[in-house]
Structure 1
Amino acid sequence: MNTKRNLYKDFEHPFAQFVRILGKGKNGARSLTYEEAYQAFEMILKNEVLDVQLGAFLMLLRVKEESVDELAGFVQATRDQLKFRAIDVDLDWSSYAGKRKHYPWFILSALTLAKHGHRIVMHGASGHTINRLYTEQVLEYLGYTICQNENEVASELNQHNFAYIPLEAISPTLSDLIALRNIMGLRSPIHTLSRLINPFNAKATLQAIFHPAYRSSHQQTAAKLGYVNSAVIKGEGGEFERNPDAKTLICGIRDGELYELELPKLTADRSAIEEELNLDTFKEIWLGDSQHTYGEVAVIETMAIALYTMNVADKFTQAQTLAQEYWQNHVIEFNFGLKKDTIRCLF
C-alpha cells in the first residue's frame, strides 16, 4: 500500500478529484454529477482506487447521503459492467437487510408468487451485519439452489419460476464493498445501490429501505435508470415486506409514471417479536402444517404490493384479493394435493 501511495508523491491520483468534491468543506463540497458518479464508480469497480481513497469516499457519501444523480451513476456503472445474457424475468426482488425481530415472510410471498407462474429473481448479500437471519440461509434450508451464474438462474426459473443469486456471484467487487459494514461500523452507499442493479432487466423491481428518507431517492433513481414499474417501501427490518403493525407508503413507478400510495396499518396493537427465529417452525408454516396470524397477513399483503407493481391488477384492492387467493390455493395444495409429499422430499 505504501508503495502505491509513493507513486503519487509528485502528481495527483485521478480519483482524488472525487474525494475533493465531496470533502472540500461545508461551503465548498457538493454532490457529484451523474457523469462524475459514473466515472468514480467505474474506477472503483476496476480496482483503480487506493483503499484510503475508497474509505474516505464511502464515508463522505454516508455522511452527506447520496443524491439521485450519484445513485443513478453508481448503478449504471455497475450495470454496464455486468455481462449477463437476457433472461425473461417478471420481477427483480432485492434482499439485503436480513431479519432480526420477525421471520422473513417476504420469502414466502415470493415463493407463492412463483408457484402461480410469476418469474422472480431475488438477489442479496449475507453476513454483512451480525445477528441477522439472511435470505440465502433460509432458502438453503428450504431446499432451494443458490445460483452462482446466469445459467443456473435460467435453469431455476424454468423449473421453479424462482431463482436466488448472491451479490458475490453478480459482482465480487460489490460483495467485498458491502462486507466493509463490520469494518467501517456504518452502512455505505453500496447497501443502497445494490438494491437497484436489476441484473437481469426484470420488467418490474422491488426495493426496501430502512430509513424513510430513502424512499423518494430510490423511486427517483429507478425512474432515472429507466425502470417503468417499480415499488419502494420502508419494509419490516429493511426487507421488502409489508409490516401489518404500521402504515406503509409505496413510492412507486407504474407504466413510467411516479406515484405514492399509503396503506393503513392492519393491526390494533404492535405484534409480539419472535423469541427465536426457528426455521423448523417457518418451514411448517410454508408447508401448511402450522399457522401464524401476523405472518400470513404479512405474506399476503407483501404479495399484493408485488402483484400491483407487476401490473397484474389495475387496483390495489384487486391485488389484495388475488394475493389472498394465491395463499389459500397454496395452503390447499400442500394440505390436500399430491405435491406435499414431493415437496417434503426436497428437505
Structure 2
Amino acid sequence: MSMQDLIAKIAKGPRAAKDLTWDEAKRAMKALIEGEATSAQVGAFLMAMRIKMESVTELASMTATARSYVAPVPIPRELGVVDLPSYAGKQDTFHALAAAAVVAASAGASVLMHGYDGIPGREGNAGVLKALGLPVEMGPKAAAEAVAQHGFAYLDIALYHPPVYRFLEMRQELGVRNIFHPIARLLNPARASSQIIGLSHPPHFEKTAEVLRMLGSHRALVVSGVEGDPELSLTTLTRVLELRDERITPFSFAPRDIGLPLGAPRDMAGFPSDQRDKEADLLRRILHNQLQGGACHWVLMNAALILYAAGKGATWPSCVPLARRALECGAAAKKLEELSQEPVGIGVTG
C-alpha cells in the first residue's frame, strides 16, 4: 500500500475516514522514519492523523515500529527500572518531577527519565536538571551506567532516537502536536517493566492504557498529570489508571489519602525561563530538607508515586514514609550531590 493510499484512507473526512490496520500503520511509520515519504506526504499524514485521531491499534503499531529502529538502553532488568517520560514542558508550575525522581532514587528506586526540551514557551526537565548540576547529554550507554551506579539518569530523546526527535521538532513548523508526541512517551527506551506516563489530552487517557496493554507492558500508571507531566496534583484529585497483568484499574489520588492537606496553586507556582537558577535553588532546598510546606509536599507525594511504581511498597500511601525518610535523613541531599558529580557530557554519542 503506497503512502498516497494510506493518506487517502485516513483523510476522507469525519464520516469516510478509516483507521489503519496494524500492518498499514507499520508501513506508514517505516515510510516516515526511512524518508520514503515526501515532505508534502509527511505533513499531510501528520495532520490527517491528528484530525481523525489515532486509534489504539495505530498508536501501538507505530510505537512498536519506532522501537524497532533503536536498540534498548542496556539497563539490567533486575534493577526494576521505572520508565519516566517527560515531554510536555511547563508554563505555570515548577518541575516537581525532577526533585521527586532524585528522592525516589535515594530511597532505592532506579529511574530513567527521558524527554524533550523543544516546545516553544514550555520548559522541560532538562533545563532545571542541568541547573542542579546533573548531566543531561548522556548517550544511551552512559545513561544505563548512571542508572546502574546511581539510580537515576536523564536521556535526551535526540540522543536516543533521532528520527522521533526530528518529528517532534515539526511541532514548531506545523504549529500543533502530532502522533510522535504520544509515541515518544510510549517509547520506553530501557523496556522497563514499570512505566509512569503523564498526559493532559483527555482523548488519550484511556487510550494510552489500552495501547500499553497491547504493547505487552507489565505495569504502568497513566496519570492525568499537571501540565501533561507524570505528576500528581497537590491542589485537586488526580485521575490515574493502573495497568497490571493486563488489567486496567481506575484510581483517584489526592493529598488527603496520605495525610497531607490540599495545597494552593502558589505552592506549585513555576518560574520564568530566565529564572532557572531560582527554580534549581528551590529544588535544592527541598532535597536538603530545608523547606517545609506545600512545595515540599508536592515533591514528596510524587516521589512516593515513583517508589510505588518501582514496587517499593504495596500501595502509594505506604511509600510516603520511604520518601519522607529519604528527605529527613539526608539521603536525598546526598543523592543530589552524587548525581551532580557525574561527568557532564560523558557518552554523548554512546
TM-score range, shorter chain: 0.7 to 0.9
Tell me the secondary structure at the aligned position of residue 164 of structure 1.
strand
CA distance in 2, matches of 1:35, 1:230: 25
Please name the residue that 2:49 is paired with. Answer: 61
Please name the residue that 1:117 is paired with. Answer: 108
Which of 7, 30, 33 aligns to 1:42? It is 30
Is structure 2 residue 14 aligned with structure 1 residue 26? yes
Please name the residue that 1:271 is paired with. Answer: 265
Please name the residue that 1:5 is paired with. Answer: none
CA distance in 1, matches of 2:193, 2:339: 29
Matched letter for residue 100 of structure 1: Q
Which of 155, 159, 174 aligns to 2:145? It is 155
Is structure 2 residue 227 aligned with structure 1 residue 237? yes
Relative CO higher for 1 or 2, CA cutoff 8 Å, sep ≥ 6?
A: 2
Superposition map of 1:132-171 within 5 A: 132-171=122-161
TM-fit CA distance, 1:211: 1.8
TM-fit CA distance, 1:289: 6.6
Please name the residue that 2:285 is paired with. Answer: 285
CA distance in 1, matches of 2:199, 2:57: 18
Distance 1:201 1:280, change over 3 A: closer
CA distance in 1, matches of 2:208, 2:72: 23
TM-fit CA distance, 1:196: 0.5
TM-fit CA distance, 1:108: 0.8
Please name the residue that 2:198 is paired with. Answer: 208
Tell me the secondary structure at the aligned position of residue 329 of structure 2.
helix
240-249 vs 257-266, greater mean Cα deviation: 257-266
Tell me the secondary structure at the aligned position of residue 24 of structure 1.
coil
Distance 1:50 1:341, change over 3 A: closer
Please name the residue that 2:117 is paired with. Answer: 126
CA distance in 1, matches of 2:135, 2:340: 15
Please name the residue that 2:39 is paired with. Answer: 51
CA distance in 1, matches of 2:35, 2:321: 49
138-147 vs 180-189, greater mean Cα deviation: 138-147
Unaligned runs of 5+ in 2: 345-350
Distance 1:153 1:343, change over 3 A: closer
Is structure 2 residue 213 aligned with structure 1 residue 220? no
TM-score, normalising length: structure 1: 0.87
Is structure 2 residue 91 aligned with structure 1 residue 97? no
Tell me the secondary structure at the aligned position of residue 81 of structure 1.
coil
Alpha-carbon RMSD: 2.5
99-108 vs 279-288, greater mean Cα deviation: 279-288
Aligned sequence identity (%) = 24
Cα pair 2:103 2:287 within 8 Å, conserved: no
Matched letter for residue 193 of structure 1: I
Distance 1:249 1:147, change over 3 A: same
CA distance in 2, matches of 1:194, 1:341: 30
- Superposed CA deviations along residues 263-303 of structure 1, whole A, max 9, x for unmatched, are 23655564223464523432432442741522212211112
Please name the residue that 2:74 is paired with. Answer: 86
- Superposed CA deviations along residues 80-106 of structure 1, whole A, max 9, x for unmatched, are 111236322511100111112111011
Please name the residue that 1:178 is paired with. Answer: 168
CA distance in 1, matches of 2:221, 2:323: 17
- Superposed CA deviations along residues 163-203 of structure 1, whole A, max 9, x for unmatched, are 11111111111111101112111111111110001011112
Unaligned runs of 5+ in 1: 1-12
CA distance in 2, matches of 1:190, 1:94: 13
Cα pair 2:73 2:189 within 8 Å, conserved: no
TM-score, normalising length: structure 2: 0.86
CA distance in 1, matches of 2:160, 2:340: 30
Tell me the secondary structure at the aligned position of residue 235 of structure 2.
coil
Please name the residue that 1:322 is paired with. Answer: 322
CA distance in 2, matches of 1:60, 1:329: 53
- Superposed CA deviations along residues 36-95 of structure 1, whole A, max 9, x for unmatched, are 112211221111111111111111111222111111011100111112363225111001
CA distance in 1, matches of 2:340, 2:127: 18
Is structure 2 residue 64 aligned with structure 1 residue 76? yes
Please name the residue that 1:311 is paired with. Answer: 311
Matched letter for residue 154 of structure 2: Y
Tell me the secondary structure at the aligned position of residue 169 of structure 1.
helix
